[in-house]
Amino acid sequence: MERPAWAPTGIDISVPSVSRIYDYYLGGSHNFEVDREAARKAMEFIPGLPKVMQANRAFMRRAVRFALDEGITQFLDIGSGIPTFGNVHEIAQSGAPEARVVYVDHDPVAVAHSKAVLEGNDLAGVVAADLRKPQDVLSSPEVTRLLDLDRPVALLLVAVLHFVEDSDDPRAAVAALRDALAPGSLLILTHAAYEGIPLSEDRAGGAVGVYRNIRNPLVMRTSEEIATFFDGFEMVAPGLVQMPMWRPESSPEQEDPYAFSGFAGVGRIA
Protein backbone atom coordinates (compact mmCIF):
# COMPACT_ATOMS: atom_id res chain seq x y z
CA MET A 1 0.00 0.00 0.00
CA GLU A 2 1.56 3.27 -1.10
CA ARG A 3 1.85 5.93 1.59
CA PRO A 4 0.60 9.35 0.36
CA ALA A 5 3.01 12.26 0.82
CA TRP A 6 0.64 13.92 3.33
CA ALA A 7 0.43 10.87 5.60
CA PRO A 8 2.61 11.23 8.72
CA THR A 9 5.31 8.58 9.10
CA GLY A 10 4.66 6.07 11.81
CA ILE A 11 0.89 5.74 11.37
CA ASP A 12 -0.61 2.43 10.34
CA ILE A 13 -2.44 3.11 7.08
CA SER A 14 -3.94 -0.40 7.12
CA VAL A 15 -6.22 0.48 10.07
CA PRO A 16 -9.37 2.59 9.48
CA SER A 17 -9.76 5.87 11.37
CA VAL A 18 -12.98 7.59 12.41
CA SER A 19 -11.73 11.03 11.40
CA ARG A 20 -10.61 9.84 7.96
CA ILE A 21 -13.93 8.02 7.42
CA TYR A 22 -15.70 11.29 8.32
CA ASP A 23 -13.44 13.11 5.84
CA TYR A 24 -14.51 10.64 3.15
CA TYR A 25 -18.21 11.19 3.90
CA LEU A 26 -17.66 14.94 3.50
CA GLY A 27 -15.95 14.50 0.14
CA GLY A 28 -12.42 15.11 1.45
CA SER A 29 -9.23 13.61 0.04
CA HIS A 30 -7.36 12.75 3.26
CA ASN A 31 -8.44 9.16 3.62
CA PHE A 32 -7.08 5.75 2.65
CA GLU A 33 -8.71 2.85 0.85
CA VAL A 34 -9.17 1.08 4.21
CA ASP A 35 -11.21 4.11 5.42
CA ARG A 36 -13.27 4.23 2.23
CA GLU A 37 -13.97 0.51 2.48
CA ALA A 38 -15.27 0.89 6.06
CA ALA A 39 -17.36 3.91 5.04
CA ARG A 40 -18.92 2.04 2.12
CA LYS A 41 -19.74 -0.91 4.41
CA ALA A 42 -21.47 1.42 6.88
CA MET A 43 -23.36 3.07 4.02
CA GLU A 44 -24.73 -0.32 2.96
CA PHE A 45 -26.79 -0.11 6.16
CA ILE A 46 -27.30 3.69 6.35
CA PRO A 47 -26.97 5.09 2.81
CA GLY A 48 -27.53 8.62 4.06
CA LEU A 49 -24.41 8.82 6.26
CA PRO A 50 -22.86 11.64 4.17
CA LYS A 51 -26.07 13.65 4.70
CA VAL A 52 -25.79 13.06 8.46
CA MET A 53 -22.23 14.43 8.44
CA GLN A 54 -23.25 17.42 6.32
CA ALA A 55 -26.01 18.19 8.83
CA ASN A 56 -23.43 18.04 11.63
CA ARG A 57 -21.21 20.51 9.79
CA ALA A 58 -24.09 22.84 8.95
CA PHE A 59 -25.16 22.93 12.61
CA MET A 60 -21.56 23.57 13.67
CA ARG A 61 -21.33 26.59 11.37
CA ARG A 62 -24.63 28.02 12.67
CA ALA A 63 -23.53 27.47 16.27
CA VAL A 64 -20.14 29.15 15.71
CA ARG A 65 -21.90 32.18 14.23
CA PHE A 66 -24.27 32.17 17.22
CA ALA A 67 -21.25 32.19 19.56
CA LEU A 68 -19.80 35.16 17.68
CA ASP A 69 -23.14 36.97 17.99
CA GLU A 70 -22.89 36.33 21.75
CA GLY A 71 -19.49 38.06 21.77
CA ILE A 72 -17.45 34.87 22.12
CA THR A 73 -14.23 34.82 20.11
CA GLN A 74 -12.49 31.80 21.67
CA PHE A 75 -13.16 28.28 20.39
CA LEU A 76 -11.98 24.89 21.67
CA ASP A 77 -12.94 22.14 19.21
CA ILE A 78 -12.31 18.65 20.63
CA GLY A 79 -12.52 15.72 18.24
CA SER A 80 -12.08 18.22 15.42
CA GLY A 81 -11.03 15.70 12.79
CA ILE A 82 -9.48 16.62 9.46
CA PRO A 83 -10.11 20.25 8.46
CA THR A 84 -12.36 20.52 5.45
CA PHE A 85 -13.82 23.61 3.83
CA GLY A 86 -15.84 25.75 6.24
CA ASN A 87 -14.09 24.63 9.40
CA VAL A 88 -14.34 26.45 12.74
CA HIS A 89 -11.40 28.82 12.25
CA GLU A 90 -12.66 29.88 8.82
CA ILE A 91 -16.17 30.63 10.08
CA ALA A 92 -14.98 32.28 13.31
CA GLN A 93 -12.21 34.39 11.80
CA SER A 94 -14.33 35.53 8.85
CA GLY A 95 -16.81 36.93 11.40
CA ALA A 96 -14.20 38.11 13.92
CA PRO A 97 -10.61 38.30 12.63
CA GLU A 98 -9.33 38.29 16.22
CA ALA A 99 -11.01 34.94 16.99
CA ARG A 100 -8.77 32.26 18.47
CA VAL A 101 -9.29 28.57 17.76
CA VAL A 102 -7.69 25.44 19.20
CA TYR A 103 -8.38 22.10 17.53
CA VAL A 104 -7.90 18.86 19.47
CA ASP A 105 -7.75 15.35 18.04
CA HIS A 106 -5.97 12.09 18.79
CA ASP A 107 -5.71 10.97 15.14
CA PRO A 108 -2.16 11.71 13.90
CA VAL A 109 -3.43 12.36 10.36
CA ALA A 110 -5.98 14.88 11.65
CA VAL A 111 -3.32 16.61 13.75
CA ALA A 112 -0.72 16.70 10.96
CA HIS A 113 -3.18 17.97 8.38
CA SER A 114 -4.55 20.58 10.79
CA LYS A 115 -1.01 21.89 11.36
CA ALA A 116 -0.51 22.19 7.60
CA VAL A 117 -3.82 24.01 7.11
CA LEU A 118 -3.13 26.39 10.00
CA GLU A 119 0.45 27.25 9.02
CA GLY A 120 0.88 31.02 9.23
CA ASN A 121 -2.34 31.44 11.25
CA ASP A 122 -1.03 32.68 14.60
CA LEU A 123 -4.50 32.70 16.15
CA ALA A 124 -5.22 29.00 15.62
CA GLY A 125 -3.46 25.85 16.80
CA VAL A 126 -3.84 22.12 17.14
CA VAL A 127 -3.30 19.75 20.07
CA ALA A 128 -2.73 16.00 19.92
CA ALA A 129 -4.86 14.86 22.86
CA ASP A 130 -7.90 12.79 23.78
CA LEU A 131 -11.27 13.98 25.07
CA ARG A 132 -11.08 11.23 27.69
CA LYS A 133 -8.12 13.06 29.27
CA PRO A 134 -9.43 16.62 29.62
CA GLN A 135 -6.51 17.78 31.78
CA ASP A 136 -4.13 16.98 28.92
CA VAL A 137 -6.20 19.28 26.72
CA LEU A 138 -6.49 22.09 29.26
CA SER A 139 -2.81 22.10 30.19
CA SER A 140 -1.53 21.89 26.62
CA PRO A 141 0.81 24.67 25.40
CA GLU A 142 -1.58 25.64 22.59
CA VAL A 143 -4.56 26.10 24.93
CA THR A 144 -2.35 28.05 27.34
CA ARG A 145 -1.02 30.26 24.52
CA LEU A 146 -4.23 30.92 22.65
CA LEU A 147 -7.15 30.75 25.09
CA ASP A 148 -7.90 32.83 28.17
CA LEU A 149 -10.01 30.48 30.27
CA ASP A 150 -11.05 33.39 32.50
CA ARG A 151 -13.13 34.65 29.55
CA PRO A 152 -15.98 32.79 27.80
CA VAL A 153 -15.00 29.97 25.44
CA ALA A 154 -17.15 28.03 22.98
CA LEU A 155 -16.40 24.33 23.57
CA LEU A 156 -17.28 22.20 20.55
CA LEU A 157 -17.96 18.48 20.96
CA VAL A 158 -19.40 17.83 17.51
CA ALA A 159 -19.89 14.17 16.52
CA VAL A 160 -17.32 12.96 19.06
CA LEU A 161 -19.10 11.87 22.26
CA HIS A 162 -20.78 8.95 20.50
CA PHE A 163 -17.27 7.46 20.11
CA VAL A 164 -16.70 7.46 23.87
CA GLU A 165 -18.14 4.45 25.67
CA ASP A 166 -19.85 4.79 29.05
CA SER A 167 -17.01 2.77 30.61
CA ASP A 168 -14.71 5.72 29.78
CA ASP A 169 -17.09 8.10 31.61
CA PRO A 170 -17.63 10.77 28.96
CA ARG A 171 -19.86 12.78 31.32
CA ALA A 172 -16.96 13.20 33.75
CA ALA A 173 -14.79 14.47 30.89
CA VAL A 174 -17.43 17.01 29.86
CA ALA A 175 -17.89 18.07 33.50
CA ALA A 176 -14.13 18.60 33.90
CA LEU A 177 -14.06 20.81 30.82
CA ARG A 178 -17.16 22.69 32.00
CA ASP A 179 -15.61 23.36 35.39
CA ALA A 180 -12.50 24.84 33.74
CA LEU A 181 -14.49 27.36 31.69
CA ALA A 182 -15.70 30.83 32.62
CA PRO A 183 -19.36 31.82 33.07
CA GLY A 184 -20.89 32.67 29.71
CA SER A 185 -19.01 29.83 27.98
CA LEU A 186 -20.96 27.63 25.57
CA LEU A 187 -21.09 23.88 24.97
CA ILE A 188 -21.83 23.12 21.29
CA LEU A 189 -22.68 19.44 20.91
CA THR A 190 -24.03 16.87 18.47
CA HIS A 191 -24.57 13.17 19.06
CA ALA A 192 -25.77 10.22 17.00
CA ALA A 193 -29.06 8.54 17.91
CA TYR A 194 -31.36 5.91 16.49
CA GLU A 195 -34.21 8.40 16.88
CA GLY A 196 -34.74 10.18 13.59
CA ILE A 197 -32.92 7.73 11.32
CA PRO A 198 -35.42 6.88 8.55
CA LEU A 199 -34.67 3.15 8.93
CA SER A 200 -35.41 0.40 11.41
CA GLU A 201 -33.10 0.20 14.40
CA ASP A 202 -32.00 -3.28 13.26
CA ARG A 203 -30.92 -1.96 9.86
CA ALA A 204 -29.17 1.09 11.32
CA GLY A 205 -27.50 -1.18 13.84
CA GLY A 206 -25.56 -2.76 10.98
CA ALA A 207 -23.61 0.48 10.58
CA VAL A 208 -22.94 0.54 14.32
CA GLY A 209 -21.52 -2.97 13.89
CA VAL A 210 -19.09 -1.74 11.21
CA TYR A 211 -17.62 0.79 13.65
CA ARG A 212 -17.39 -1.86 16.35
CA ASN A 213 -15.49 -4.11 13.95
CA ILE A 214 -12.88 -1.40 13.30
CA ARG A 215 -12.48 -0.98 17.08
CA ASN A 216 -14.13 2.44 17.15
CA PRO A 217 -17.43 1.60 18.85
CA LEU A 218 -20.27 3.95 17.94
CA VAL A 219 -22.48 4.46 20.98
CA MET A 220 -26.04 5.39 20.08
CA ARG A 221 -27.70 7.25 22.98
CA THR A 222 -31.27 8.42 23.44
CA SER A 223 -32.13 12.11 23.52
CA GLU A 224 -32.62 11.79 27.30
CA GLU A 225 -29.13 10.32 27.69
CA ILE A 226 -27.60 12.98 25.45
CA ALA A 227 -29.30 15.72 27.48
CA THR A 228 -27.30 14.67 30.56
CA PHE A 229 -24.11 15.99 28.91
CA PHE A 230 -25.61 19.44 29.48
CA ASP A 231 -25.73 19.05 33.26
CA GLY A 232 -24.52 22.34 34.72
CA PHE A 233 -25.43 24.27 31.58
CA GLU A 234 -28.53 26.34 30.75
CA MET A 235 -29.90 25.22 27.41
CA VAL A 236 -30.07 27.85 24.70
CA ALA A 237 -33.37 27.88 22.76
CA PRO A 238 -34.61 25.75 21.07
CA GLY A 239 -32.91 23.22 23.38
CA LEU A 240 -31.75 19.75 22.36
CA VAL A 241 -33.29 19.10 18.94
CA GLN A 242 -32.60 17.21 15.74
CA MET A 243 -29.76 18.92 13.90
CA PRO A 244 -31.71 20.77 11.16
CA MET A 245 -34.12 22.13 13.78
CA TRP A 246 -31.48 24.14 15.66
CA ARG A 247 -31.94 27.76 14.53
CA PRO A 248 -32.34 26.81 10.86
CA GLU A 249 -31.47 29.32 8.16
CA SER A 250 -33.88 27.70 5.69
CA SER A 251 -36.94 25.51 5.96
CA PRO A 252 -36.06 22.19 7.67
CA GLU A 253 -38.77 20.57 5.53
CA GLN A 254 -36.38 20.87 2.59
CA GLU A 255 -33.70 18.82 4.35
CA ASP A 256 -32.85 15.24 3.46
CA PRO A 257 -34.57 12.84 5.91
CA TYR A 258 -31.15 11.51 7.01
CA ALA A 259 -30.17 14.98 8.25
CA PHE A 260 -32.48 14.37 11.25
CA SER A 261 -30.37 11.37 12.42
CA GLY A 262 -28.94 12.79 15.62
CA PHE A 263 -29.34 15.62 18.11
CA ALA A 264 -27.75 19.01 18.52
CA GLY A 265 -27.80 21.58 21.25
CA VAL A 266 -26.02 24.54 22.79
CA GLY A 267 -25.74 25.13 26.52
CA ARG A 268 -24.41 28.11 28.46
CA ILE A 269 -22.57 28.21 31.76
CA ALA A 270 -24.47 30.63 33.99
Average pLDDT over residues 128-147: 98
pLDDT of residue 83: 82
> Structural domain tally of the chain?
1
- Whole-number percent of the chain with pLDDT over 90: 85
pLDDT over 80 at 56, yes or no: yes
Interval 16-21 mean pLDDT = 92
Write down the pLDDT at residue 1: 58
Confidence of residue 86 (pLDDT cuts 50, 70, 90): confident
In-domain check, residue 11: no
- The reply to whether 43 falls in a domain is no
Cα distances (angstroms) measured from residue 50 to each of 30, 36, 135: 16, 12, 33
| pLDDT tens digits, 89-135 | 999 999 999 999 999 999 888 898 899 889 999 999 999 999 999 99
Q: Is residue 134 part of a domain?
A: yes
- Boundaries of domain holding 79: 49-199+222-268
Average pLDDT, the chain: 94
The domain that contains 72 carries what CATH number?
A: 3.40.50.150
**Is 13 contained in some domain?**
no
Q: Is 64 contained in some domain?
A: yes
Whether 6 has a pLDDT exceeding 70, the answer reads: no
Residue 41 inside a domain? The answer is: no
Mean per-residue pLDDT for 207-235? 96
Is 110 within a domain? yes
**Within-domain flag for 212:** no
pTM comes to 0.94
The model's confidence at residue 2, banded by pLDDT at 50, 70 and 90, is: low
- Written as one string, the DSSP assignment of the chain is -PPPTTSPTT--TTS--HHHHHHHHTT-S---HHHHHHHHHHHHH-TTHHHHHHHHHHHHHHHHHHHHHTT--EEEEET--S--SS-HHHHHHHH-TT-EEEEEES-HHHHHHHHHHHTT-TTEEEEE--TT-HHHHHTSHHHHHH--TTS--EEEEES-GGGS-GGG-HHHHHHHHHHHSPTT-EEEEEE--STT-SS-HHHHHHHHHHHHHTT-------HHHHHGGGTTSEEPTT-SEEGGGSS-SS-GGGS-GGGGSSEEEEEE--
Question: Does position 8 have pLDDT exceeding 80, yes or no?
Answer: no
